[in-house]
Structure 1
């Protein structure tokens, strides 16, 4: 019989070995040390079979930006089940324990980035934000439809990044839902490590900020570079030098234009790759040549779980008045299921049982999670037959809010 319990610090390396087995990974000494240190700061849940760790799940202690608020939100990571114990309820048990702990800690939501998106819907997670992979052919100057901000650009030493761009990142979180807060430790140990964990050919991190000297930065870009592939190993066609953009934040489209223009003009490079950009990135509109700036991938980015629906709906802000009766299903957390009346607006929100009322919308907690941050519109889910609209216009009303 499996024993679901907290993983002590002494078992972290055993849990990591399981994760490396499951994800077919083989990090070096520094990567292992970084993972170990990361997990020391996480909630850790394990499934034990006779003393062996056969399932593992950890959760970062995040705060996540949601419309008008910032909520505690465990961020799941290293979700692993041994090949010998698949389809035996291990993941279900781990998820159940993690949700129980989130409820006890007063976290109304939980989130993750999914390595396999087919897994998490059955646990009530919905794709709450949409991401895009953007590639720029930078073998020629980046063509823009707007004038770039011409204030000075400056390099920021990674050692100064937390002080220089950390506050800017924190302020920018409030402008877009679905972004976790970042501690100084997370900056240095995840974003600013000397080597990229997935590609050791990439340079150390580089940061360029825009703004007049002595003034707060108006935007920044965090990137790494890779030189052109040459020689016999590269084959008959050389691969041009690469700029990999990890993060680009800007006060205005003009600032963003200046930063994109900068990374697209770096010497000895011919392409820019940016993964996980917002699906509505302004670059896709102000780029003058969409053959030069292409979306090469689109995917659900952050997956969200509403652990306590009432607390989640009443904690966020609502831009416009809405009053709906929701018929909600939740196979994992029955307390969320039933008929509820949501009445919300700029002044606040109330969510209460509405037994005997006719529903305006019928949906599962997964679909509600997908709509919660505004990344998915309820009308799209009605069109996909995932939400049932009993009252005409109800889905559009919820989308406006």
Structure 2
């Protein structure tokens, strides 16, 4: 495939070093040797696409072979796009468009109805049909006093877990619980060790190595966190940064949050990327003590095969609507389709009937995951409702018990 003078093709393993050099240039990074080694080893096993202007590599993108939890349960192949880079000399020349088209075609050819990414710039990916598949929130807790909660924490014992033993203990628990939320990717032992439990945090070297606290035996919840000393001269208290907290229920979560906020020499507990429906926000007896300081789109999702994606999820209520879908990047998704679905069946077929709802590809992606309701997009003027009850009917069918959420960056 050619984009003007640029050829888009699979990037051979022999060009991985060139690809990393381009990615580090574009993202203003200069990782240490250990992180570079990890990137090289990861890329050796990924789908890789390069854009070449003659012999010069001017664009690069790769895709991890992820599996994610589908809305309502089940599993979906969902490649994770990463290292998306275009040389500054070749911006606005169709390089990114060409690489995206090639990636979409290859992923669909491998039977993956979705692709996902974490957007370095949110303004870029909407035009390629990506919509926010999940949202995250940063939560800060004032730990200078005991955490006030509205219910009693689970009284079972807590124990610290050696990071070397953590994947064997936490991995099966995470796999059992992640199906309850859409968009959560499966983790291999390598992913646990290379992404979650690395000794040094590359974003803040002042943070401690990872600490793991586990509740109960059998396991009823865990938290992964790092700590940082305060500065007496600046009068800044110590920090506990919570990287992940999983629990069977609210009492178990309360036990873990109580532990984290009671760690000595701590003034602030900060958790990035919490679910927007985190029960902590309801459990807190004093919302001045527990504050949401940031809310943001997290995982961005793109339907590369809309019919297959819709067929793979479950449906909470019957729905019969005609959707008009606009998709300039994947023409097979575009057109009018009659969606008939229920907990017992599914059909999605072309039709000449008048549409009840009109979607752009990016908005179909975000309502598919459950990050945004159809009704909210109608109110925002982004989805056109041509029949008064259509948005409410589709929202009822798309409903999941919990909002989509993931914290696994890539």
TM tier relative to shorter chain: over 0.9
- Deviations 1:339-396, CA, capped at 9 Å, x for gaps: 10001111131100112x0111011111110101111100000000000000101101
Pairs within 5 Å for 1:385-400 = 385-400=381-396
| TM-score (normalised: structure 2) | 0.94
Mapped to 2, the partners of 1:3 and 1:10 lie a distance apart of 17
Pairs within 5 Å for 1:160-199 = 160-199=165-204
Mapped to 2, the partners of 1:284 and 1:39 lie a distance apart of 39
Q: Which runs of 4+ in 1 moved over 6 A?
A: none
Q: Which residue of 1 aligns with 2:211?
A: 206
Mapped to 2, the partners of 1:202 and 1:10 lie a distance apart of 36
Q: Which residue of 1 aligns with 2:230?
A: 228
- Deviations 1:249-305, CA, capped at 9 Å, x for gaps: 010001011111111111122111111111111011111111111111111111110
1:263 aligns with 2:260: yes
Mapped to 2, the partners of 1:84 and 1:260 lie a distance apart of 49
Say which of 118, 124, 142 aligns to 1:119: 124
Pairwise CA distance, 1:230: 4.3
1:345 aligns with 2:342: yes
Contact residue 314 and residue 348 of structure 1 kept, 8 A: no
Cα RMSD (Å) of the superposition? 1.0
Say which of 58, 67, 71 aligns to 1:63: 67
Pairwise CA distance, 1:39: 1.5
Mapped to 2, the partners of 1:351 and 1:191 lie a distance apart of 39
Mapped to 2, the partners of 1:362 and 1:126 lie a distance apart of 16
Say which of 7, 25, 36 aligns to 2:40: 36
Q: For 1:45, what is the secondary structure of its paired residue? A: strand
Contact residue 129 and residue 303 of structure 1 kept, 8 A: yes
Contact residue 59 and residue 77 of structure 1 kept, 8 A: yes
Mapped to 1, the partners of 2:204 and 2:41 lie a distance apart of 21
Mapped to 2, the partners of 1:9 and 1:227 lie a distance apart of 43
Q: Which residue of 2 aligns with 1:23?
A: 27
Q: For 2:78, what is the secondary structure of its paired residue? A: strand
Mapped to 1, the partners of 2:258 and 2:271 lie a distance apart of 14
Mapped to 1, the partners of 2:59 and 2:298 lie a distance apart of 24
Pairs within 5 Å for 1:68-87 = 68-87=73-92
Contact residue 54 and residue 81 of structure 1 kept, 8 A: yes
Mapped to 2, the partners of 1:394 and 1:340 lie a distance apart of 14
Say which of 54, 57, 62 aligns to 1:50: 54
Q: For 2:367, what is the secondary structure of its paired residue? A: helix
Q: Which residue of 2 aligns with 1:247?
A: 244
Pairwise CA distance, 1:225: 1.0
Q: Which residue of 2 aligns with 1:9?
A: 13
Q: Which residue of 1 aligns with 2:221?
A: 219
Which sits farther off after the overlay, 218-227 or 40-49? 40-49
Mapped to 2, the partners of 1:270 and 1:26 lie a distance apart of 32
- Deviations 1:87-142, CA, capped at 9 Å, x for gaps: 11111011001001011101001011111111100000011211111111111111
Q: For 1:142, what is the secondary structure of its paired residue? A: coil
Mapped to 2, the partners of 1:264 and 1:48 lie a distance apart of 52
- Deviations 1:307-354, CA, capped at 9 Å, x for gaps: 000101111100111111001110101111111000111113110011
Pairwise CA distance, 1:146: 1.1
Q: For 1:270, what is the secondary structure of its paired residue? A: strand
1:296 aligns with 2:293: yes
Pairwise CA distance, 1:50: 2.4
Mapped to 2, the partners of 1:50 and 1:229 lie a distance apart of 54
Pairwise CA distance, 1:35: 1.4
Unaligned runs of 5+ residues in structure 2 are 398-410
Mapped to 1, the partners of 2:21 and 2:301 lie a distance apart of 27
Pairs within 5 Å for 1:282-321 = 282-321=279-318
Q: For 1:32, what is the secondary structure of its paired residue? A: helix
Say which of 155, 158, 162 aligns to 1:153: 158
Mapped to 2, the partners of 1:44 and 1:239 lie a distance apart of 45
